[in-house]
């Protein structure tokens, strides 16, 4: 079978799409139980007893994990047979996780509770692999999560997140205890941003640092539709959600869809994502229609230089902490998004600065995952 598939069989899954295969979930606890003997590593569906829903291969999306190495110990020489141990090295974006409300588990990431995108969307629901995994997780200090995929097709906004428990802090070894999926608000901010981003933001919705004075509610919105507190500091997270947090994307998975067009009149085109594991460098074409549209829109209010350089550039540089090279050599291109409605939700007018030729620092965690 492996020869026919031109792939390697790995604990009930195929090596070629192991990143997708790992996003399986148990269909409730009806008939599910904890195995009495070792069956497989926790990242394999074979480690659980119960009805399993595999990850949907037809869902197009952006993957944020990479399996770098797999090791399995077999009972016999048969690589299709029983296992006595195994592990894999997983590269992705690891986040500290807390769970609250045992009646309907809710995720708290970066100290902020994860909420549904809209009232009509499904909030993140946690599917534990075994009943034992759900026991007393509200006080568990060693929980982590790692975003696996954001769906971009028919189920746009659906997010799959691995739920992990730290086994050995010295070796960085984790075990899978479940998976969370749903349509959260600002998934890039929630699962890709550093805590430092939230501390940089004056909005109380994103900054709950006890040592911070940034606890004021937004009082108004500025000309770029960003929240402004009474201290007159902008809520940077609102704008940066459009950038998909460039500096915090997993190494090699470069998202080139900065501004999502909300109408058929596309001011910015979606370019194809760069191949996986290329150096994280931006390559964008100059979008003349977008510039002309922006210029005409803001004539008499702010000059294009003030909008781009004084506002967007200043805050983008401050928040993303980008390593900019050749700043004055014309590496800037522009993008824009018009105010329209998408799924009944108002999309505010924003303008953005895209920097070409940027080296993006990664915030990566190489983990051993059993």
Q: Which residues of the chain have pLDDT under 50?
A: 195-286, 304-370
> 217: closest CA among 350, 225, 227?
227
Provide the Cα torsion 305, 310, 315, 317; round to 10°: 70
Tens digits of residue pLDDT in 228-237: 333 333 333 3
Q: Where are the beta strands (DSSP E) in 169-221?
A: 173-182, 218-221
> What pLDDT, on the 0 to 100 scale, is given for residue 151?
86
Q: In this predicted structure, what is the pLDDT of residue 300?
A: 55
118-140 pLDDT, tens digit each: 888 888 888 888 776 666 666 56
H or E element that contains 316: helix 314-320
| Euclidean distance between CA atoms 193 and 249, whole angstroms | 8
pLDDT of residue 162: 92
Virtual torsion, Cα 59, 182, 226, 290, nearest 10 deg: 10
What are the C-alpha distances in Å from 92 to residues 99, 294, 368? 21, 37, 11
Structural tokens at position 142: 């060693």
When computed from its CA atoms, the radius of gyration of the chain, rounded to whole angstroms, is 22
Q: What is the pLDDT of residue 4?
A: 59
Q: What is the dihedral of CA 192, 197, 198, 200, to 10 degrees?
A: -170
Asked if 234 and 315 count as a contact pair (C-beta separation under 8 A), the reply is yes
What's residue 288's pLDDT? Answer: 57
Q: What is the pLDDT of residues 21-73, one digit of tens each?
A: 899 988 765 656 677 788 888 888 888 887 888 877 667 788 888 888 898 88
Residue 163, pLDDT score = 92
Encoded tokens for 30: 């009806």
């Amino acid at each position: 079978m492996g020869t026919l598939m031109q792939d390697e069989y790995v604990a009930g899954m195929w090596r070629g799409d192991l990143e997708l295969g790992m996003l399986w979930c148990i269909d409730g606890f009806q008939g599910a139980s904890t195995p009495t003997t070792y069956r497989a590593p926790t990242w394999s569906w074979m480690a659980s007893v119960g009805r399993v829903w595999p990850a949907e291969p037809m869902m197009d999306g952006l993957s944020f994990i990479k399996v770098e190495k797999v090791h399995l110990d077999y009972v016999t020489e048969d690589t299709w047979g029983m296992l006595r141990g195994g592990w894999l090295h997983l590269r992705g974006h690891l986040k500290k996780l807390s769970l609250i409300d045992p009646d309907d588990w809710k995720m708290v990431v970066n100290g902020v509770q994860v909420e549904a995108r809209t009232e009509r969307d499904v909030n993140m629901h946690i599917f534990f692999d075994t009943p034992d995994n759900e026991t007393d997780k509200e006080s568990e200090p060693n929980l982590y999560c790692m975003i696996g995929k954001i769906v971009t097709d028919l189920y746009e906004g659906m997010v799959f997140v691995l739920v992990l428990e730290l086994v050995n802090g010295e070796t960085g070894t984790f075990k899978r205890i479940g998976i969370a999926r749903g349509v959260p608000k600002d998934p890039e901010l929630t699962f890709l941003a550093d805590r430092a981003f939230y501390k940089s933001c004056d909005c109380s919705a994103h900054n709950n640092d006890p040592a911070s004075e940034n606890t004021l509610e937004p009082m108004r919105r500025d000309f770029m539709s960003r929240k402004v507190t009474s201290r007159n500091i902008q809520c940077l997270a609102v704008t940066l959600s459009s950038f998909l947090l460039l500096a915090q994307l997993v190494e090699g998975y470069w998202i080139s869809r900065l501004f999502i067009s909300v109408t058929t009149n596309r001011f910015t085109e979606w370019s194809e994502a760069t191949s996986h594991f290329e150096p994280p460098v931006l390559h964008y074409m100059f979008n003349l229609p977008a510039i002309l549209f922006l210029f005409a829109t803001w004539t008499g209010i702010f000059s294009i230089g003030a909008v781009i350089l004084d506002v967007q550039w200043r805050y983008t540089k401050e928040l993303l902490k980008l390593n900019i090279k050749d700043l004055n050599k014309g590496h800037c291109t522009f993008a824009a998004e018009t105010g329209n409605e998408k799924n009944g939700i108002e999309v505010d007018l924003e303008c953005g600065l895209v920097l070409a030729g940027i080296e993006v620092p990664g915030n990566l965690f190489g983990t051993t995952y059993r």
